[in-house]
Amino acid sequence: MELALYGEGGFYSTGAMTGRRGHFITSPEVGTLFATVLAGALDSWWADLGRPDPFLVVEVGAGVGTLAAGIRRAQPRCSPALRYVLVERSSALRDRQARRLTLEPPSSLLRAGPGADDDDDEPDPSVGTGPMFTSLTDLPGEPFTGVVLANELVDNMAFVLLQRAECGWSEVRVGEEGADLVELLVPASPRLAEEADRLAPDAPHGARIPIQRRARTWLRDAHAKVHRGRVVMVDYTATTPTLAARRWEEWLRTYRVHGRGGHPLSAPGEQDVTCEVAVDQLATVGPPSEDRSQAEFLRFHGLEELVEGARATWRERAGVGDLQALRARSLVGEAEALTDPAGLGAFRVLEWDLR
Ligand SMILES: C[S@@+](CC[C@H](N)C(=O)[O-])C[C@H]1O[C@@H](n2cnc3c(N)ncnc32)[C@H](O)[C@@H]1O
């Protein structure tokens, strides 16, 4: 998975995009509504923190920068304080960010020292000069006051795959058979087997589970970087026991050009490989302060109020069918897609309040 997505010729290394012209649609790619609601959420988190300036928003797995561009367009109240860091490991995607946002050198946004913004008595000439945007390959080096945000990031992190054997656990590794990649079952290490027993004690013979250590490490790093603020993660989630009870092909999925792809080992680099996120494995970093559906989260942050006007306009002008009516219809459609209980609306938004 690591090589197929991020290695040479990997799916994301070669610039695979989300969105209508990409392989699959994510919430920021549905339209501008997701970013507009997020901009309002940023304002409320900024207010909760006492309106710090600078206010750092670090979006990890930022792709081509669609969410960042949408937040800039929405002009949140925190804009003058906003320092927005797009973290993206694919250089091909980082190159595209520069086409839609003016990116500053990282040094002009990131000051050294934990909470430099809170504890510093010196007047800072950069106060009130936002919004500013920059791009990095990894989380900033120093802790900061603000928010770490990740939409559909963790499901794309490589994991260890285990299968319940008659006695103990096997690890499903990847082997080569001629030109093909094949599954290779080897006995799991005692540490992995012990972890699997703890996470899914009732897994039946043949059941599979992911062990998502990278995701956990990433979340721990993100927590360590937030001196004061919040970590917010949006993704499709489950728990290890429920994954063990399901067919692995349901939760370890591949996508390609707006459809499902083939076996995870086929056509490496040409399809996305993604795994539902086992929240019980992440909770060891610390239980989230909030865990709600995307639909609930968006409504809590004002989605209905934003769409109310558009609904009325559409009702009044549907017969006219002018541009205003079509814009209103499109916004109503976006709201439906983002809150669809059988689709994006069922994603979970996990928040860790670290004030
Ligand atoms: C499914 S895409 C989501 C893109 C965007 N957030 C969206 O919602 O449209 C996942 C992105 O995360 C990036 N990524 C994966 N692991 C990463 C990491 N550890 N740090 C930064 N970016 C990462 C991938 O290169 C890819 O662009």
pLDDT in tens, the chain (355 residues): 999 999 999 999 999 877 777 778 999 999 999 999 999 999 999 999 999 999 999 999 999 999 999 999 999 999 999 999 999 999 999 999 999 999 999 998 886 444 445 555 666 777 889 999 999 999 999 999 999 999 999 999 999 999 999 999 999 999 999 999 999 999 999 999 999 999 999 999 999 999 999 999 999 999 999 999 999 999 999 999 999 999 999 999 999 987 899 999 999 999 999 999 999 999 889 999 999 999 999 999 999 999 998 999 999 998 888 999 999 999 999 999 999 999 999 999 999 999 9
Q: What's the 120 CA to ligand 1 centre distance in angstroms?
A: 34
The reply to whether ligand 1 has any atom less than 6 angstroms from the CB of 90 is yes
Q: What's the 264 CA to ligand 1 centre distance in angstroms?
A: 18
* Dist CA 264 CA 252 (whole Å): 8
Q: What's the 272 CA to ligand 1 centre distance in angstroms?
A: 11
The reply to whether ligand 1 has any atom less than 6 angstroms from the CB of 63 is yes
The reply to whether ligand 1 has any atom less than 6 angstroms from the CB of 70 is no
* Dist CA 134 CA 124 (whole Å): 19
How many separate helices (H) and strands (E) can be counted in the chain?
14, 16
Look at the chain and count its residues: 355
Q: What's the 36 CA to ligand 1 centre distance in angstroms?
A: 20
Give one word for 51, left, alpha or beta, with left for phi > 0 and alpha for psi -120 to 50. left
* Dist CA 233 CA 346 (whole Å): 14
Q: What's the 63 CA to ligand 1 centre distance in angstroms?
A: 6
Say if residues 232 and 151 touch (Cβ distance below 8 Å). no
The reply to whether ligand 1 has any atom less than 6 angstroms from the CB of 17 is no
* Dist CA 147 CA 114 (whole Å): 14
> What pLDDT was estimated at residue 113?
43
**Which tokens sit at 347?**
């994603």
Residue nearest to atom 11 of ligand 1 (CA): 61
Across-strand partners of 175?
Answer: 182
The reply to whether ligand 1 has any atom less than 6 angstroms from the CB of 244 is no
